[in-house]
A and B are shown apart, each in its own frame.
Chain A
């Protein structure tokens, strides 16, 4: 009975108030049939990790346009692991130079979306790679 829905958290860590992209993506995920928890701007990695666990999401999508992704993205991935939630997929997006990709993948991120990524492409990636847990 019932249907397993994908639950996504869209979060903006750090001092970055540019949330248009995060909002557009949230809407897109909704239209793809996902349940999207949006937590607003200026979140600490601790807040994001704790909220992701409380909401039991499958995936956390981090958006950062400020340049602090090298610190903030790995911090979220690390906190999730420490709190026994390493199975929650972490992906990121924003203004991210290619030379930072390796650092982020090494930190546990599963995908990075940069300017030029299409909405359909992002939604497809989620549909292919995120399986709602049982």
Chain B
């Protein structure tokens, strides 16, 4: 495979095109992933998530800088939302990262969610593999601005960073589940603003109440503060601390043999996705193409039948093992 060789040698054009073909759902691109998948496993994948405007892109930019100082090559996958009405998207994360545009050790690729709900795009998993095979030491994945439940990022990352900013809610928000439970590292960004100490206390209290099992091999998520990006000295210092903490987390995973559980989680999710893609999608598109899907919806509107009966009928038709 000529193109796999090119990707292995780090060819940006070939890699970006393959990512695009995967986004567009082309069968040929999926077939190519069969050759990419066995070559993966080199990169440290770091997920960065948090609410819109929390400063994720700016932190990613700063992290790229600090990893480059340590001579590590970096891939960035930045996800922004697709408009549910027009299908278009404005991908603006790159604005904060353009100073690395000419550095051959950095590859930044923007992706639109295209209807995916978990805070990422469907092609992100494959795009991570591609950057991995290109030889990137670090792959940073920036989610869309998230709320409380967009937790897909844990399925793809070895290290998850949750970025919070002061003034986003009281402690009731902190004891809720979801996004706060997935953090390996908390970052309080814009920490010069009022309320950052209170936010820190709230996260501490939340962590104090968590069962010991929430901290694999004793890793209690550290809470870092990050100074205003417009104060370069403090900001750079904050980022160096952050990249060191990320490195420590990875060492912790390696030392306590926890990397396997993360890889397992990702593999299980990928299998799930692939089955959905190979089994469910063709059934749905066949039903849509011959108009049956629409007829079933009409039947449901008239209450002639129910969704459960219809689904069972479809299962009997398409699955050999269905009862």
Contacts and interface: CB of A to CB of B under 8 A. Distances in A.
B26 A2 contact: yes
Interface residues of A, number: 36
Nearest to A41: B95
B116 to A, nearest CB: 13
A98 interface: no
Nearest to A32: B88
A40 B285 contact: no
Interface size class of B (residues with CB under 8 A): 20 to 34
A18 B98 CA distance: 18
B13 A51 contact: no
B95 A39 contact: yes
Contacts of B12: 53-54
A55 B109 contact: yes
A4 B24 contact: yes
B90 A30 contact: yes
Contacts of B82: 35
Contact of A55 (B24, B88, B110, B281): B110
Contact of B24 (A3, A29, A54): A3
A68 B98 CA distance: 21
A134 B89 contact: no
B174 interface: no
B107 to A, nearest CB: 6
Interface in B187-213: none
Interface stretch (A42-50, A101-109, A110-118): A42-50
Contacts of B101: 39, 43, 46-48, 50-51, 54
Interface of B (DSSP majority class): mixed
A134 B26 contact: yes
Nearest to A37: B91
A121 interface: no
A31 B82 CA distance: 10
Interface string A34-76: 1111111001101110110111100000000000000000000
A48 B94 CA distance: 11
A98 B239 CA distance: 49
Contact of B17 (A2, A3, A56): A56
A32 to B, nearest CB: 6
Interface string B88-127: 1111101100100110000111101000000000000000
A1 B285 contact: yes
Contact of A32 (B26, B86, B95, B102): B86
A56 B16 contact: yes
Given A37-B110, A56-B16, A5 B87 contact: yes
Contacts of A89: none
A56 B20 contact: yes
Contact of A35 (B21, B91, B98): B91
B244 interface: no
15 contacts: A1-B26, A2-B23, A2-B26, A29-B88, A30-B90, A37-B110, A38-B92, A47-B101, A50-B101, A51-B108, A55-B16, A55-B109, A56-B16, A84-B13, A133-B17
Given A34-B88, A36-B90, A54-B16, 17 more contacts: A1-B26, A2-B23, A4-B24, A30-B88, A31-B88, A35-B82, A35-B89, A36-B91, A37-B110, A46-B101, A48-B101, A51-B101, A53-B16, A54-B12, A54-B109, A85-B13, A132-B24
Interface of A: 1-5, 7, 26-27, 29-40, 43-44, 46-48, 50-51, 53-56, 84-85, 132-134
Q: Which 6 A-B pairs have the closest CB atoms?
A: A2-B25, A30-B88, A56-B16, A40-B95, A47-B101, A1-B25
